[in-house]
Structure 1
């Protein structure tokens, strides 16, 4: 058994699936709760498939796309899939533990970029927290999990460019620079920046005067992952209409 404990986020997702029917339509476009679960199981297995060759001193394979790795999991019955997620998540933690015990600063190729192995743990915590919200929506558990500052820090520092890549395809003013802050109480600001044709998210404690929107911390996590909180007053704009429209386009999904 791995000594790295299962995360609260993974526990919360698995618990939520016990009372969420597989056919419930999620907030992920085109996915039910079953397909969201398949996505997570396949992701955990894919991480293990990268780390096992690394441990053996063999080449790390390319990262397969969702379309390549998820169909076998989607085809499972829901009870079998939930058992498989439990197994794959535990196996992933054990493999990460073995890598880090030998090489704490290990870095591997993942989705065409370099990924520190230790970062897979907060990455999957983000995935479980976000996808739990996708299947059950707003509740106290989602509010607590999504408000954690270390999840925001990971999303911005590791995925800051990736989280706006899809949105750039819908950018109404792709050649214009853009600076807007997503502000949450008692937390660093998240800046959405477009400069010289490059877009990404940044964390800052610099109190510079820039256009901003105000959100609670959990809502901000949802928004940077391309979601929209159901309760409208959780996001309050202090920018003009064209700026808000462009902000929403850029944060339109991962």
Structure 2
């Protein structure tokens, strides 16, 4: 089976904020029903063609869950529900393994590394494994690993999600407090250590 293209968003872009929120709630309920039906009726190996790659039905349900958690955080900020959900180990594992690897492979060419250059970075949140990224001219990798070495700098998050291309969310209904838009991260405050040697360096 195959998902629809992004042209499906066009009707929603024309809705008012109130109608868009109503459609969002209605489709969340529909998504819940579809995910439950897929778990009940489909083999776990059933393939779904999605944005140029093939995934399984369980992956798709988990990914939709992750998207809802991340973008709820975009709207609400660090409330108790968001922090508890973002700290779930499956969130980090899904982001690193299921999402990070394909995106890293796609973005490696933008680094424009020289033949003898190699990029290495560690993203760290206290109390959890590091997210380790590596890339050279032919390969790219992302994995979880035990913390190693002191952080070299502290990450400064962007003021919005322009770096990931995420659409600005609709204005919440009247009477709902809206926090400033937050960066797409999902692991809380983090520090980063990077190493990109220039050609000829050891």
**TM-score, normalised to structure 2's length?**
0.65
Cα-to-partner distance string for 1:197-248 (whole Å, 9 max, x where unaligned)? 232422235x6x5785688xxx9xxx9x95377xxx93334456x68xxxxx
Match of 1:151 among 72, 86, 91: 91
Taking a change above 3 Å as real, the CA distance of residues 125 and 118 of structure 1, as seen in their structure-2 partners, is same
Secondary structure in 1 matching 2:111: coil
Would you say 1:130 and 2:70 are equivalent positions? Answer: yes
Match of 1:78 among 13, 17, 21: 17
Superposed displacement of residue 136, structure 1: 3.9
Superposed displacement of residue 158, structure 1: 0.7
Within 5 Å, which residues of 2 pair with 1:170-185? Answer: 170-171=110-111, 173=113, 175=115, 176-185=117-126
Asked if the contact 1:180/1:191 (under 8 Å) is kept, the reply is: yes
2-structure distance, mates of 1:159, 1:237: 20
1-structure distance, mates of 2:24, 2:193: 42
Question: Which moved further from structure 2: 184-193 or 132-141?
Answer: 132-141
Would you say 1:236 and 2:191 are equivalent positions? Answer: yes
**Structure 2 unpaired stretches of 5+:** 165-182, 198-202
Within 5 Å, which residues of 2 pair with 1:92-111? Answer: 92-105=31-44, 106-111=46-51
Match for residue 172 of structure 2? none
Between Structure 1 and Structure 2, the one with more helix by share is 1
1-structure distance, mates of 2:191, 2:94: 24
- How many residues were matched structurally? 171
Would you say 1:115 and 2:55 are equivalent positions? Answer: yes
Match for residue 38 of structure 1? none
Taking a change above 3 Å as real, the CA distance of residues 62 and 142 of structure 1, as seen in their structure-2 partners, is closer
Name the Cα RMSD after superposition: 3.6
Taking a change above 3 Å as real, the CA distance of residues 174 and 63 of structure 1, as seen in their structure-2 partners, is farther
Taking a change above 3 Å as real, the CA distance of residues 95 and 212 of structure 1, as seen in their structure-2 partners, is same
Higher RCO (C-alpha under 8 Å, 6+ residues apart): 2
**Structure 1 unpaired stretches of 5+:** 1-59, 244-254
**TM-score, normalised to structure 1's length?**
0.54
